[in-house]
Each structure stands twice: as structure tokens, then as C-alpha cells.
């Protein structure tokens, strides 16, 4: 799959989501659907957005025993999503189970990426609550390597880590990076941000952009600006 801009559809309802997508008229951006919208609207929202011609990253971050994740992934692959994810903390057996479950009878499957450490987990929490003494960056790189060795296609990471992940796991290993802000935009609650242009130069394959597009006065113009900066088109 080619480099692309993914819009995070962080809306609570189907009506708001579809009204937002209607503004794009002929364009069909790649979109991310997370837990809030999926749990509110169920699989029907996926079918509806797919039928409109969008690619979908279903961001549900599965983490359970391998057999449960395998069976759940099989259900998601039949929803015809394009990208899904798991927590790398579920370890290799779970990631391999996820891959197996995702693979359809004809051998095709959605891309599978892993979350390494959540960006909300800081060094202190890692050490004092999760009892992991290994430094954060080493943990992130090891989890990325475990994902690559299990056959996954990539990881979600900060654009600031994308280059290092590729150096450790190979150029073909996808990096999907949130934390994107325009140079003249609001940072909001994101701490480690990068512009679309810099992300494009720093090894990001997919940027995930929420509020800079969804909250813009003109979301279509903001999306086009993102594509222009990130993809140079």
C-alpha cells in the first residue's frame, strides 16, 4: 500500500461522521475508525463507509489470548477493513494468531500493525507500575522487532521514532504516525508533534491526522494541505 494521509474520524455518532465525509464530495480519503465510533455504531458503520469507497484503518488495539484474538480478527477481516491493529504487549503468539485469523480463504488480508507502548505511558509508569526496568526507547524498539519477527506489517509510533523503527526492522516495515500538526496550528494535548512535511521526510508511511482536519474551518482544504505537504502532491 502506498504512503497516505489517514483522517482520524473521532466522532461519537454515525450522523456526524457521514456529514463530515459528505464534505469531501468526489474525494475518498483513507480514514481511521476507533473504539468510540465502532462501539457506538457497530459493524454497520464499517460497511457503510466501505460502500462509499474509503479505505479503513480499524483502530481497536486487540490484546487477549492468541485464540480469542485470532477468532476476533477473522470476524474483522470479513468486514473488509484495510488495516487493523493489536498491542505488541500481547506477545508473539498472539500476534501470529492475529495474522492467521486475518488471512482470508483466498490468501488476502488487511494490513496488521502493532501498538508498541502507548504514548500515555511515561517512563515512571513503565518502571513503577508495569515493573519494566528497560528504558522506554529500548522497550519500544524491542516490541517493534517482535512485531516484525511475528510477520506483522508495521507499528504505530511517533513520527520522531519512525526512522529508528525502520533502521531496526527494515525499510518495508510500515510506520503509522499520529501526533501531526501544521507548523502554524494548535498542538492541543499532543506532546511530541511533527508537521506533515517533516513526517514525510522522516520515515512515516502513513500519517494519522485528527483535529487539524476534523476541527478545521475548511476540513477539505486542511486535508489537501496535508496531502500536499506529506506526499508532495
Instruction: Tell me which residues are annotated as active site.
Output: 59, 61, 64
| 103: phi then psi, degrees, rounded to nearest 5 | -75, 120
Q: Are residues 4 and 32 in contact, defined by beta-carbon separation less than 8 angstroms?
A: no
Question: 33: annotated binding-site residue?
Answer: no
Q: Point out which residues pair with 8 in neighbouring strands.
A: 32
Q: How far is the CB of 36 from ligand C5P (least distance, A)?
A: 9
226 binds ligand C5P (CB under 6 A): no
Rounded CA separation 184/98 (Å): 40
Cell of 219: 476540513
Question: What is the footprint of ligand C5P within residues 186-225 (CB under 6 A)?
Answer: 188, 190, 208-212
Does 156 bind ligand C5P (CB under 6 A)? Our answer is yes
Q: 179 near 206, Cβ under 8 Å?
A: no
Say if residue 119 carries a ligand binding annotation: yes
Q: Closer CB to ligand C5P, residue 109 or residue 181?
A: 181
Compute the C-alpha angle 144/29/84, nearest 5°. Answer: 30
Q: Which x/- pattern, by CB under 6 A, does the window 98-127 give for ligand C5P?
A: ---------------------x--------
Please list every residue from 164 through 183 that binds ligand C5P, using CB under 6 A.
178-180
How many CB atoms lie under 10 A from the CB of residue 46? 20
Query: Whose Cβ is closer to ligand C5P: residue 34's or residue 43's?
Result: 34
Which three-class secondary structure state does DSSP give residue 162? helix
10 is known to lie in a ligand binding site: yes
The answer to whether 29 contacts ligand C5P (rule: CB under 6 A) is: no
Q: Which residues pair with 58 in a beta bridge?
A: 33, 84
Q: What is the DSSP letter of 57?
A: E
C-beta of 216: minimal distance to ligand C5P in Å? 11
CB of 60 to ligand C5P, least distance (A): 12
Q: Where does the chain show beta strands of DSSP type E?
A: 4-8, 30-34, 56-62, 83-87, 111-115, 154-156, 174-177, 206-209
Q: Which residues are annotated as a binding site?
A: 10, 32, 59-68, 119, 181, 190, 210-211
Binding site for substrate: residue ranges?
10, 32, 59-68, 119, 181, 190, 210-211
- Chain residues binding ligand C5P by CB under 6 A are 8, 10, 34, 119, 156, 178-180, 188, 190, 208-212
Amino acid at each position: 500500500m502506498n504512503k497516505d494521509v489517514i483522517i482520524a474520524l473521532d466522532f461519537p455518532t454515525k450522523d456526524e461522521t457521514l456529514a463530515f465525509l459528505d464534505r469531501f464530495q468526489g474525494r475518498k480519503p483513507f480514514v481511521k475508525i476507533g473504539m468510540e465510533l465502532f462501539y457506538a455504531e457497530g459493524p454497520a458503520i464499517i460497511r457503510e463507509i466501505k460502500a462509499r469507497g474509503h479505505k479503513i484503518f480499524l483502530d481497536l488495539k486487540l490484546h487477549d489470548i492468541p485464540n480469542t484474538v485470532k477468532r476476533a480478527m477473522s470476524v474483522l477481516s470479513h468486514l473488509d477493513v484495510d488495516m487493523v491493529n493489536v498491542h505488541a504487549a500481547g506477545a508473539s503468539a498472539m500476534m501470529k494468531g492475529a495474522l492467521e485469523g486475518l488471512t482470508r480463504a483466498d490468501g488476502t488480508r488487511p494490513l496488521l500493525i502493532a501498538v508498541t507502548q502507548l504514548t500515555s505511558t511515561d517512563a515512571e509508569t513503565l518502571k513503577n507500575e508495569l515493573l519494566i526496568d528497560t528504558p522506554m526507547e529500548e522497550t519500544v524498539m524491542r516490541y517493534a522487532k517482535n512485531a516484525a519477527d511475528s510477520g506483522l506489517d508495521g507499528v504505530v509510533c511517533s513520527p520522531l521514532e519512525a526512522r529508528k523503527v525502520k533502521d531496526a526492522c527494515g525499510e518495508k516495515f510500515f510506520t503509522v504516525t499520529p501526533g501531526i500538526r501544521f507548523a502554524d496550528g494548535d498542538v492541543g494535548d499532543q506532546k511530541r508533534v511533527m508537521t506533515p512535511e517533516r513526517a514525510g521526510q522522516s520515515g512515516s508511511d502513513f500519517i494519522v491526522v485528527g483535529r487539524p482536519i476534523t476541527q478545521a474551518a475548511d476540513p477539505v482544504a486542511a486535508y489537501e494541505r496535508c496531502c500536499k505537504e506529506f506526499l508532495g502532491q
